[in-house]
Amino acid sequence: MKFLKKVSDFFGFTKLKEKLYFADHEEISEADREYIKRIKGQNPFGIIAMFIGGVSFAFGPLYVAFPIITIIFCIVTFGTFDREKEDNPWTFIIGFCLALIGLFMNLGGVVHELIF
């Protein structure tokens, strides 16, 4: 976990996550800002990883680049997960697993079939 955190810091994902969280909080009061900080939320990179994991599952059997890019993205950005501020790492795990399924389907030559 420490290694993944260092990798995320190296690529600047931790700073980008902070900018995404606090970009629109200039006009609120200090009490409201403290209340927002106490509420657990989702990691924005986890949401992105889960979304592109779904894309990798859908198109991975045809294009192997989608699952590979998604797996690399999930590994690199997992270090931005903070257990104290965020709910759970399942968004990363689901995106990673969907990308693995897409990759294995590509390697096995299996495609999604449309049956009517």
Average pLDDT over residues 89-102: 91
The pLDDT value given to residue 66: 92
In angstroms, how far is CA 33 from the centroid of its own chain? 25
Is the separation of the CB atoms in 85 and 41 below 8 Å?
yes
The pLDDT value given to residue 21: 62
The pLDDT value given to residue 104: 93
Is the separation of the CB atoms in 82 and 53 below 8 Å?
no
Is the separation of the CB atoms in 81 and 89 below 8 Å?
yes
Considering 2-6, 25-29, 62-66, the range whose residues carry the highest mean pLDDT is 62-66
The least confident of 32-41, 47-56, 66-75, 83-92 is: 32-41
